[in-house]
Each structure stands twice: as C-alpha cells, then as structure tokens.
Structure 1
C-alpha cells in the first residue's frame, strides 16, 4: 500500500504528526489509526467471503481483481486458453507478405513464390478480378511518355 513512500515523506509525516497532535497524544493516534485500518481490512475480507459464498460453487475461483477490465482482457485473451482461435489468426496474418503482394500487384510484377489464400497468384487474381484474361490490367503502370513529349494541357483545369 505504501510502497512508493520514501524516507523523506515518512520524516515529513512524523514531523507533521508531532506538530498537529503533540508528542504526548501521537502514540495513541497511531494506535487508533492502525486499529481502524485493521477493522476496515477485516470488514472487506468478510464482505468478499460473503459474496463468494452467495455466488455458489460455480464461482469458487472468482477473484475480485478480475473485475478490472485490463486484468480481465489479459486473463481471457492473452493466456494459454485460446477458445476463440485468436492465436491461429495472429499467426496466419503476415503484414509484410500482404504488403509485398499489394506492391507487386500495383507495380505489375508477378508474385511467384507467394500464393494468396485462394491459391491464385497475385497477378492472376487481378486478371480474374478484371473479368477475363484478355482484359486490360488497370493496376499496371502505363508506359511513360518520352522526355520531349509534353503532357496534354487542359485549359479547363487551370
């Protein structure tokens, strides 16, 4: 509870306690405060036990720390029990491979070693998406005009 209090803070609290309560009443105040903290802890432990007994045997391993959302998510999703299959999904998704396929498709290069999930290579999937093998590939780069040629001028655009 008080793990982050240093020596300077303790000395400050002692001096403040002596100034506020006086040296003769300070020990009694400390005893009363420790007795109060002990009773609050006992009360909270008995309340937790009452809740556990009321919940029944299904919740015998219930921990109140699990009500914290971060703890709940960490326990349910990140631990060894993978009921949702998230581990397989995480392992099957390779962002670098996906980005390389998209880059190859945009640049018009063939992806030889990397096959997509459907078993169709990247450029074949693009051709199939265009409709037929003879359809123009809209993702391929167009030929660059020669350096001397000026691009067409559109008077309406300026």
Structure 2
C-alpha cells in the first residue's frame, strides 16, 4: 500500500481508531488529521520555494532529495548516460561475494575452483601442513598455540 503498511495493518489501525475515538468522533478526527497534514505539506512546499528563490537561478532545478548521499552518488556518479570515470566497468569487474567465497573456501580448505592454484603461503604443494586449513578434529595431546597478543 503506502508507507510500507499492508492491508491487514491498515485494518488493524482502523479498528483501533474506532475503538479509541468512537464512531461518532472518528470523522472529525480524520478531518483534523488530514487538515494538519495538508498544512504541513503546504509549509514544506513554501519553505522549499523560499530556499530555491534565495539560492538563485543556478539552483532552480535543485532537488532536496539530492542531499541524501546515496541519491547524490547515484545521480552524479552512476548515471546511465554519462560514465566519465569508468565506474560501471569497475563495479562490474569487482564481485565482493565471489571474493568472500574464495577466502572462505581457502580458510576452510575447500577447493574454490577446478583449476589448482599455487599453494598458499606456509603450505607446500606436496601435501605438507597448510596453516589456513581447518583441522577436522584436534589432536588429543596437542595444546592450542599461545597467543600473547590475545591475553
């Protein structure tokens, strides 16, 4: 519907309003609320017009939604018609989910791609100890490593 309110929530609000204000006062309350919202909207529009007129003619097509950083970046940097900085190519070449999956696979010792890659630092290609590989079960007599920075 609007304002992220579903039909069941709207019915609940109407029933609650009838219970709180009563059926005889409800039309007057609705009329007062809509009048208040209309006045707030008129005040907001007049304030926007005053600000635009004070800024001058170079800001005549200024939108207040542009003050939101996300909207500003989307409008000026990621516009479909102009891509001066090559940001679309950069965004399409960088896939964060793929990178994170590769790191997680390396930490958990799962192969991330069918082509074998170079051994990780500290590991050996002949099947020696790989420091990033997670052990299935801890050795019974082996103590965990001591980390002086963590204590």
Return the TM-score normalized by structure 1: 0.51
Aligned residues: 91
SS at match of 2:61: coil
> What is aligned with 2:4?
4
Determine the C-alpha separation between the residues in 2 that align with 1:27 and 1:56: 44
Shift of 1:48: 0.3
**CA distance 1:4–1:88, change in 2 (3 Å):** closer
Check if 1:78 corresponds to 2:75.
no
Q: 1:25 to 1:81 in 2, by over 3 A?
A: same
When Rg is computed on C-alpha atoms for both structures, the one with the higher figure is 1
| Deviation at residue 4 of structure 1 after TM alignment | 2.4
Unaligned residue ranges in structure 2 (runs of 5+) = 95-151
- Confirm or deny: 8 A CA contact 2:65 2:71 kept in the other structure: yes
| Superposed CA RMSD | 2.4
Moved beyond 4 Å, runs of 4+: 88-91
Query: Which has the higher relative contact order, 1 or 2, with Cα contacts under 8 A spaced 6 or more apart?
Result: 1
Cα gap change, 1:77/1:23 in structure 2, threshold over 3 Å: closer, same or farther? same
- TM-score normalized by the length of structure 2: 0.54
SS of 2:5's equivalent? coil
More helix by share: 1
* Residue 34 of structure 2: aligned partner: 34
Q: Are residue 54 (structure 1) and residue 54 (structure 2) matched?
A: yes
Query: Could you say which residue in structure 1 is the equivalent of 2:24?
Result: 24
Q: Is the 8 A contact 2:78 2:88 kept in 1?
A: no
Secondary structure in 1 matching 2:86: helix
Partner in structure 1 of residue 110 of structure 2: none
Distance in structure 2 (CA, Å) of the matches to 1:90 and 1:81: 13
Q: Deviation digits for residues 17-53 of structure 1, max 9, x if unmatched?
A: 1111111001000000000001100100000000000
Q: Using a 3 Å threshold, how does the CA distance of structure 1 residues 89 and 23 change in structure 2: closer, same or farther?
A: closer
- 1:78 is displaced (CA, Å) by 1.2
> 1:87 maps to which residue?
86
Q: Deviations over 1:93-126 (max 9, x none)?
A: x89xxxxxxxxxxxxxxxxxxxxxxxxxxxxxxx
